[in-house]
Structure 1
Amino acid sequence: MGGRSEKAHWSRFQDSALRHWTSTPLENKADGARWVRAQQRGWAAGDRFGFAVLEAQPDVFRGQLVGNVVLKEVESGKPSAEVGYWTAAHARGRSVASRALEVLTGWAFDTFGADGLERIELLHQEDNPASCRVAQKCGYGFDRVLPAAPAFPLDGHLHIRRTDS
């Protein structure tokens, strides 16, 4: 990457809302490279599967980055896994997260259901109503409030979607 497109790409990670909700803020290229390597390690280990969410653009081979979805804590025989996602500021309010989450959910159950995956959990802080709407829109029913923890400084919501949902 170089020039103007690189600046536009890195500016996505300076978004205050995105920085508030993600546990690993990216400050520079080195942080970005570490994040990519972590994604590669997850794929290699078979326990974390991250996907870039791209918006198709006419006459462009690669789309514009508008978000990310991830299936994590996948383990053979384990009945549950967890999902996470983020949406770039310029793409919010356009159902990017819910469409990506719906695709990821279907893929997860198709890919890991025979290996024991029965439910997928979605967690978010209580003060994140947008994530609550995404969860509900995608059939992740509210399960309970979780107390604050080091990774979540506020109480959180646990939403669950089961294979039969």
Structure 2
Amino acid sequence: MPFTISDIVAAGALARRAQPTLPVPGGLVLRPWSSADAPAVYEAFQDPVIQRWHARVADSESEVRGWIEGWRGAWEEERDAYWAVAEGGSDVVVGRVALRGIVLADGQAEVAYWTMPGARGRGVAPRAVVALAEWAFGEVGLHRLELTHATANEASCRVALKTGFAVEGTKRSAVLHEDGWHDMHLHARVAGV
């Protein structure tokens, strides 16, 4: 039985091209991860703030290199897309931004991000999220981007609101962190709105 609605984005829209490097206002770029970035990711995951909001820890740079390989594979499989947020001139990693849980047929994905401790308070996350959202809507043709964060993570809520992700509600007891179950705010942006 055929579907009455065509796929929003055709399969292969990501995999048939190389993951792009995207400019970000203020001298940043979103670029694909390389194995040379393993020390920066390892350092990031030693930060107590990142550890608080992530269920994953990094035990070694070798382990992180495996993550990076997985991130590259996720692009090829069109299920997730991860970028390093880097200083344009020095190429120093200042954060990460990602599209997770990509469903091209439905035109949807979830935005995720973190910043290195030394980059916080400089607008890195909001600028990276806006650049990623503009690319996802304008170049890929996605229709809806969601963003979730623990209700206790006020910094992440500020990023979501600054970048036009409207609050849609609270998912009760939705994510388990090391300190227990957390309610999650659900934010979203829709193409053209």
TM (normalized to structure 1)?
0.85
* Aligned-partner Cα distance in 2 for 1:71–1:48: 5
Q: After superposition, what is the alpha-carbon deviation per residue over 1:106-163, rounded to whole angstroms, capped at 9, x for unaligned?
A: 11112332xxx31100000011011111011000000000012344521010000010
Unaligned runs of 5+ in 1: none
**Bigger RCO (CA 8 Å, 6+ sep):** 2
2:94 equivalent to 1:49: no
Tell me the residue number matched to 2:62: 30
More strand by percentage: 2
The aligned runs of 1:1-165 (5 Å cut-off) are 10-57=42-89, 60=90, 63-113=91-141, 117-151=142-176, 153-165=181-193
Q: Percent identity?
A: 34
* Aligned-partner Cα distance in 1 for 2:61–2:99: 24
The offset of 1:9, in angstroms, is 6.2
SS of 1:46 mapped into structure 2: coil
SS of 1:155 mapped into structure 2: strand
Quick check: 2:38–2:65 contact (8 Å CA) kept in 1? no
TM (normalized to structure 2)?
0.74
Q: How many residues align?
A: 156
Quick check: 2:175–2:184 contact (8 Å CA) kept in 1? no
Q: CA RMSD in A?
A: 2.2
Pick closer, same or farther for the CA change 1:23–1:9 going to 2, 3 Å.
closer
More helix by percentage: 1
Pick closer, same or farther for the CA change 1:71–1:7 going to 2, 3 Å.
closer
Pick closer, same or farther for the CA change 1:150–1:8 going to 2, 3 Å.
closer
* Aligned-partner Cα distance in 2 for 1:144–1:7: 37
Q: Which moved more, 1:99-108 or 1:9-18?
A: 9-18
Quick check: 2:41–2:64 contact (8 Å CA) kept in 1? no
The offset of 1:30, in angstroms, is 2.7
